[in-house]
Every structure is written in C-alpha cells, then in structure tokens.
Structure 1
Amino acid sequence: MAWSAKVLTVSDSVAAGRVPDGGGQAVTEAIEAAGGQVVERAVSADGRSEVAAALRRLAEGFGGLVVTTGGTGFGPRDLTPEATLDVVDRRAPGLAEAARAASPKGRLSRGEAGTIGRALVLNLPGSPAGAVEQLRAVLDVVPHALALLAGEQPHPHQAHQGKRPPGA
C-alpha cells in the first residue's frame, strides 16, 4: 500500500538557519526507503505553541504519517511531546513505546504518538541516527494504521479467524 508522510523538524537552530536539517533529511530518506512518499517537509522553532500550530496545519485534511524530529529530550525548550498531546485526538502509546524500546538511549526520549483526524503523528528524537532507529521500529505497522484511520476494513487475520483456539 502506498502511503504519504510529512516531516516536521523541531529545532531553534535549524529554524534560524544556523545548522542543516540532518534529522529531517534522515527521516525522509528512511520513509522513502520503506515505500512511503514524503509530500512535505517543514521546520518549526522549539516551543509548545509553535509546534502545536505546525502539527495542526500539517495534519489538516491529511491522511498520512506526520513525523516530528527534535524536541523530545530533557532540555528546557524540548516541548514537542507536550505540544503533540495538546493537539492529538487519541494517543497511540504502543507506537511511542515501541520506538523508545529500539535502543538503550531511546529510554531518554519523551516522544508521543497519536492521531489528529486521519493523520498519525509520531515524535522522534532530533539526532538523525536516533530518529531513524526509532522510526524503523514502527514502520512495519504504519501502512496498516493509516488504512484503519482511513476507515478501510483490515484484511482478516488468517490464524484463528472466527475459530476457538485449540483446547478452549
């Protein structure tokens, strides 16, 4: 299934043009390698209201994956998770947990995941390597999640579909 994505880099330094957008580029390449198509890339300064506004804009009328990179750490301006929780309709904690479990340093990420309308939002760290590592931990379920958000009926599970497990 073909799917679309938008990438939001959250960084004061990138927004000011002081450093290149390594995280956004790395995430874009990983999405495209997995069969997704990045249809938009954006940059936001750190800050709760700025990130919330950017997420609302990117998700409006969009049925795809919205990935953020940056702002998930312990710094005083790392407020991407809080901004995400301000705008999501429903949380998707399993995605955030799986992303964090991808590596030992992932435990330091405070990233969240959830839905805004038909868009699936996933927060990733700003480090290019960390962002790609966490993204790869959940990419296998993204097409299925997007199909469910679009209201498509999932394919029936082959094992035990409508059957009682042996011994039940």
Structure 2
Amino acid sequence: GKNRAGEDRVQRRGRKDSASKQFAEEVLKAHNDYRKKHGVPPLKLCKKLNRGAQQYAEELATTRVLKHSSESANGKCGENLAWASYDQPGKDVADRWYSEIKNYSFQNPGFSSGTGHFTAMVWKNTKKMGVGKASASDGSTFVVARYDPAGNVVNPGYYEENVLPPRK
C-alpha cells in the first residue's frame, strides 16, 4: 500500500543522507578513546547537535565547498569538518583529526590552524557532541562534528587548562 512505499522511501533516504546512529557512535567512541588518553571526561551525543551537524553536512554536500558554518563562526558551537572522495568510516575521520597532535606544542600551547581539529577533540571543558554525514552526487562524503561548549577558546590560559598532554 501507500504507507509501505512511503516507509521504503524514508529508509532508503535515511541510509544515504543521515549519519546513521552507528556512524555517530563510531565517531563518538573514537573521540572518547582519545580523550581518555588525555585524562579528560567523555563526551555524550546530543540530539540537537546531531540534527544541526546533519543539516550542515547536507548543505556542504550540495555546495561541495568545505567551509565552517555561521554557527561555529559566531561561537555557538565548535566544529570539525572532513571531506573524502569516498564513504569515510567514523574512526578514520577521528584518527585523521587526532593525528594533528604531532604538530601541537604542549610547551607552547595555543591555537594554530594545523592543530585545531585535534585540540577541539580533546578540549577538557567540552561536554557534548553531534555528528552529521552526507554524500555528494559524486560519491564523496562530508562529515561535520559539533561540540558544546566550543573548544579552541583563545583566552589566556585556556589551552593550558583544556588541552592536556597524553598520559604516559
């Protein structure tokens, strides 16, 4: 019947367009494994942040321009973005962001464009995150992670307090 077709359509669309719960949880788990290494509390997924991240991922997949959202620019949330030419697994995205640790100086802490994904991930004061993923027509994927409260706050002393070196 009509209802059945409607359901099928929704499910199909859901698979392609939304960061499945599984994908979001994979990204979350990778974040929390890394956060544990740095001795900071785990993040929790937030429905509202998931929704915003998903909407923005879909926008990016349409425009195919990787740029930060106005929400992140005005400090409402922190935001990490990733693009790949294929359907990227959640752990790969998190690993790529975290790999910036090699460029971070714990002796000389602060913001730099080459380490901002890493510092957002392990920022001690961040409590919640949301994840979105969308595919462009060419099969490439855009991933958006949103953080609340936002990390990478450049006030004096904030990096020292929030970006802790990994525990031995």
For the criterion TM > 0.5, the same-fold answer is no
TM-score bracket relative to the smaller structure: 0.3 to 0.5
Which structure exhibits the higher relative contact order, with contacts defined as CA atoms closer than 8 Å and separated by 6 or more residues?
2
Question: Counting helix residues as a fraction of each chain, which structure ranks higher?
Answer: 2
TM-score calculated relative to the size of structure 2: 0.36
TM-score calculated relative to the size of structure 1: 0.36
